[in-house]
Amino acid sequence: VQPAPTPDPPRVSSAVSRLRAAGERVTPARYAVLRVVDAADRTDEHLTAEEIGARVAQVEPSVHRATVYRNLTSLVETGVLSHVHLGGSATVYHLAEPAVEHSSGHAHVQCHSCGRVLDVPPDTFEEVAERLRRDLGFALDTGHAALLGTCRDCQTP
């Protein structure tokens, strides 16, 4: 017997309908991943695959960790999730903005001292992107990786 379902947050419903429209199955594992990532997005958290796996295990204990990892990959391929590379080998996930598939709609900077990840507006790197396009014909994917630096708190006064 399933408990009465709580209504889906709008971004989860939107992701679910995009999955269905793409002919993709919405399995309990995928559903749990979408809910976990949506909740993290709303609290400005940036979760790694491992962290998402741990949270999915709390709501869907029957879902194997490997299934979560496989679904993260396929959900990114379908354009429902976006990923961002941080310093080191860490990768974190967001729900993708429907208007900009494969993108979270914002860019990131990360402090290499404390590891904090900050969201920055999508147009932050616009001038850089424009210059690269003009000078090199290079299309910069500004949301794909975080730029590293030192946050305000970690800079010695």
Residue with Cβ nearer Zn ion (63 or 146)? 146
Q: Among 7-15, 32-40, 108-116, 141-149, which window interacts with Zn ion (CB under 5 A)?
A: 108-116
Residue with Cβ nearer Zn ion (76 or 151)? 151
3-state secondary structure 11-80: HHHHHHHHHHHCCCCCCHHHHHHHHHHHHHHHCCCCEEHHHHHHHHHHHCCCCCHHHHHHHHHHHHHHCC
Alpha-carbon distance of 96 to 79, in angstroms, equals: 7
Alpha-carbon distance of 144 to 33, in angstroms, equals: 20
Q: Which of 80, 107, 111, 146 binds Zn ion (CB under 5 A)?
A: 111
Q: How far is CA 60 from CA 68, 71, 90, 99, 157, in A?
A: 11, 14, 24, 30, 47
Site residues for Zn ion, 124-153, by CB under 5 A, read: 151
Burial (0-12, 13-18, 19+ Cβ within 10 Å), 144: middle
* Residue 155 contacts Zn ion per CB under 5 A: no
Residue with Cβ nearer Zn ion (20 or 116)? 116
* Residue 119 contacts Zn ion per CB under 5 A: yes
Alpha-carbon distance of 90 to 112, in angstroms, equals: 12
Site residues for Zn ion, 19-58, by CB under 5 A, read: none
* Min separation Cβ 108 and Zn ion, Å: 5
* Min separation Cβ 94 and Zn ion, Å: 6
Q: Among 4-12, 25-33, 65-73, 114-122, which window interacts with Zn ion (CB under 5 A)?
A: 114-122
* Residue 154 contacts Zn ion per CB under 5 A: yes
Task: Summarize as ranges the residues that interact with Zn ion (CB under 5 A).
Answer: 111, 113-114, 119, 151, 154
